[in-house]
């Protein structure tokens, strides 16, 4: 593709070379630079792409997109822009033929709920006959192709590639998680979102490598509503009005507030042996009863958001009801049937805030005992271990402390830190380092009416030890335990 075509929507200065050059590829990883490519010099958290300018030129790069001055041969075209990440997003969209403009793209932002809502929307729309692609924390789904995710919102070049592949196989729409980091780093720039969703906002992702402050975190979330045609927001969240500051979209709301366009009424917990769920009645723009096989009040919020989106697509209520009853999200309060006597589930809760939210939700169902099996990752803040130990000690009736991803630390040291936190409480606990043994202990000691939650791993299917990711899927471990029990 000609360079001038790639730059057609961008403000730039050509500081060296010519625009009349054929580009063979677009890359932002110097290791992938090749003859005739365009290379983006990105200022990253770890490395600065400008330092690789001469190296990629020697590999044959014909165009460099830069923010800062670079010293390269005059045979290389140098395009200077105010922000090379923003430029990368717009050039990537042009490279792939602006796929987002040929389908309906739905973006979801907020602290919690993004992953579940994407799967709910996908489930309902597919039940109604739409073909839907998905980009999120767990994976990208393009038809029958499933690509494990390395971040919630991938780099812009990857997003545009995925959207183009979705379009190629006939997708009508794409649903994607849009993180505050993704918005801040312009990964979704140039995408005309049909719908943007705001779930909720709590202090998170604030630190040296993420957001400087809660205010910055909030501001980045709000950017989605300057980039979508319709904004669908949680009316009950205290930060909704701040999120809407500067918005350019039409607005609809959901929540328990009677003024919401999609209002939940008559909510009740549903509890049966081996099963927890929630039921309610949606009023407002739609009027029907809903039951979901995912426990907790947040399941109401998540499903209301999905209903509001699918209302825009004219989906009939029977299809919404059936799809919401069946939807399951890997590692998000994912119930695994092991007994008629007690309930076992897997969840990704891997910090104190998410673990507290999970355990308080499950306590609302008044289990005979709430049993929590969890560990903490190695080479991460030790404070997380103390905090999670304290949370589990305070909210679970019994805790089984085990190993998570020890990475380059000794599992015993990590468990000892968790024990320090739990010792501040009256919570009962046991330490079992091997995760399979810990899960087996929980199953073998399950009592009628118990709720057992395996927290921290969620959708992950590996355990990272000393730089190696070994296969370890809790669903597989559970089946192995049950099979071994059956053999006696």
Q: How far out from the chain centre does Cα 298 lie?
A: 16
pLDDT-above-70 percentage for the chain: 98
> How far, CA to CA in Å, does 156 sit from each of 88, 376, 466?
7, 31, 31
CB-CB neighbours of 306 under 10 Å: 32
Query: What DSSP character marks residue 211?
Result: B
What whole-number distance in Å separates Cα of residue 122 and Cα of residue 117? 8
pLDDT at 207 over 80: no
3-state helix, strand, coil in the chain (%, to 5): 35, 25, 40
Q: Which residues pair with 148 in a beta bridge?
A: 139
- Report how far apart, in Å, the C-alpha atoms of 247 and of each of 87, 124, 471 are: 23, 28, 45
pLDDT score of 210: 63
232 HSE (CA, 13 A, CB side): 27
Whether 176 has a pLDDT exceeding 80, the answer reads yes
How high is the pLDDT of residue 208? 55
* pLDDT (mean) for 55-63: 97
Contacts of 468 (CB under 8 A, 6+ apart): none
Choose among 189, 140, 190: nearest CA to 165: 140
Q: Map tokens 């309902």 to a residue.
A: 124
Map residue 164 onto helix, strand or coil: helix
pLDDT above 90 for 74: yes
Residue 203 pLDDT greater than 70, yes or no: no
Residue 108 pLDDT: 98
Mean pLDDT score of the chain: 95
Does the pLDDT at position 211 exceed 80? no
H helix runs in 18-151, sequence order = 53-58, 84-95, 114-127
99-326: CATH topology: 3.40.1190
Any idea where the domains of the chain sit in the sequence?
3-95, 99-326, 334-487
Q: Of 378, 385, 391, whose CA–CA distance to 453 is shortest? A: 391
Distance CA 386, CA 420 (A): 6
Q: What is the pLDDT of residues 92-111, one digit of tens each?
A: 999 999 999 999 999 999 98
- Find where tokens 């296969």 sit: 471
pLDDT at 451 over 60: yes
Helix, strand or coil, per DSSP, at residue 235: coil
pLDDT at 363: 97
Q: Give the tokens for residue 410.
A: 């000794």
Q: Kindly calculate the radius of gyration of the chain based on its CA atoms and give it in whole angstroms.
A: 24
Alpha carbon distances (Å) from 339 to 42, 135, 447: 53, 34, 10
Q: What is the mean pLDDT of residues 386-405?
A: 98
**94, 72 contact by CB (below 8 A):** no
Q: Which class for 147: exposed (0-12), middle (13-18), buried (19 or more C-beta within 10 A)?
A: middle
Identify the bridge partners of residue 142 per DSSP, sorted by sequence position: 145
Q: How far apart are CA 211 and CA 124, in angstroms?
A: 34
Q: How far apart are CA 384 and CA 162, in angstroms?
A: 35
Please state which of the ranges 30-39, 198-207, 235-244 shows the lowest mean pLDDT: 198-207
Place 205 in a pLDDT band, splitting at 50, 70 and 90.
low
**Residue 432 backbone phi and psi in degrees, to 5:** -135, 105
pLDDT of 423 reads 97
Domain 334-487, CATH homologous superfamily name and number: Mur ligase, C-terminal domain (3.90.190.20)
Q: Is pLDDT of 291 > 70?
A: yes
In contact, 84 and 106? CB cutoff 8 Å: no
Task: Quick: pLDDT tens for 453-486.
Answer: 999 999 999 999 999 999 999 999 999 999 999 9
pLDDT of res. 293: 93
pLDDT for residue 215 is more than 90 = no
Question: How sure is the predictor about 488, in pLDDT bands with cuts at 50, 70 and 90?
Answer: confident
- For domain 3-95, give the CATH number: 3.40.1390.10
Do 193 and 174 contact (CB within 8 A), yes or no? no
Whether the Cβ atoms of residue 227 and residue 196 lie closer than 8 Å to each other: yes
Mean pLDDT of 147-172: 95
Lowest-confidence region among 45-49, 441-445, 447-451, 462-466: 45-49
Q: Please say whether the beta carbons of 473 and 461 come within 8 A.
A: yes
Residue 13's SS3 state is strand
The yes-or-no verdict on residue 136 having pLDDT over 80 is yes
């Amino acid at each position: 593709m000609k360079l001038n075509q790639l730059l057609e929507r961008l403000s730039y200065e050509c500081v060296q070379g010519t625009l009349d050059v054929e580009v063979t590829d677009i890359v932002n990883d110097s290791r992938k630079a090749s003859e005739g490519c365009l290379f983006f010099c990105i200022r990253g958290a770890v490395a600065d792409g400008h330092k690789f300018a001469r190296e990629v030129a020697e590999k044959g790069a014909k165009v460099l997109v830069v923010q800062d001055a670079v010293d390269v041969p005059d045979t290389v075209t140098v395009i200077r822009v105010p922000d090379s990440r923003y430029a990368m997003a717009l050039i990537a969209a042009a490279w792939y033929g602006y796929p987002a403009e040929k389908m309906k793209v739905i973006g979801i932002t907020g602290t919690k709920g993004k992953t579940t809502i994407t799967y709910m929307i996908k489930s309902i729309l597919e039940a109604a006959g739409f073909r839907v692609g998905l980009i999120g924390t767990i994976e990208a789904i393009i038809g029958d192709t499933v690509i494990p995710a390395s971040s919630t919102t991938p780099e812009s070049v990857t997003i545009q590639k995925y959207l183009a592949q979705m379009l190629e196989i006939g997708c009508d729409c794409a649903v994607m998680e849009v993180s505050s980091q993704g918005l801040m780093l312009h990964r979704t720039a140039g995408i005309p979102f049909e719908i943007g969703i705001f779930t909720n906002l709590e202090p998170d992702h604030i630190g040296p490598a993420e957001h400087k402050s809660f205010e910055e975190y909030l501001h980045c979330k709000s950017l989605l509503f300057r980039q979508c045609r319709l904004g669908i927001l949680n009316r009950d969240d205290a930060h909704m009005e701040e999120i809407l500051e500067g918005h350019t979209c039409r607005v609809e709301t959901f929540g328990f507030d009677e003024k919401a366009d999609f209002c939940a009424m008559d909510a009740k917990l549903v509890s049966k042996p081996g099963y927890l769920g929630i039921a309610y009645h949606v009023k407002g723009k739609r009027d029907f009863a809903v039951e979901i096989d995912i426990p907790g009040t947040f399941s109401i919020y998540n499903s209301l958001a999905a209903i509001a989106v699918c209302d825009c697509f004219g989906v009939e209520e029977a299809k919404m009801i059936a799809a919401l009853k069946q939807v399951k999200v890997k590692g998000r309060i994912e119930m695994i049937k092991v007994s008629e006597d007690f309930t076992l589930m897997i969840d990704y809760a891997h910090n104190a805030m998410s673990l507290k939210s999970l355990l308080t939700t499950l306590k609302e169902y008044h289990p005979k005992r709430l049993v929590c099996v969890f560990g903490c990752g190695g080479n991460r803040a030790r404070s997380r271990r103390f905090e999670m130990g304290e949370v589990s000690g305070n909210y679970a009736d019994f805790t089984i402390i085990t190993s998570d991803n020890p990475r380059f630390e000794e599992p015993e040291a990590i468990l000892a830190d968790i024990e320090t936190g739990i010792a501040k409480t009256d919570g009962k606990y046991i330490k079992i380092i091997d995760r399979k043994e810990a899960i087996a202990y929980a199953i073998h000691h399950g009592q009628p009416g118990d709720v057992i939650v395996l927290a921290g791993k969620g959708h992950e299917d590996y355990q990272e030890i000393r730089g190696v990711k070994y296969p370890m899927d809790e669903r597989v471990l559970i089946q192995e335990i049950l099979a071994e029990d059956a053999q006696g």
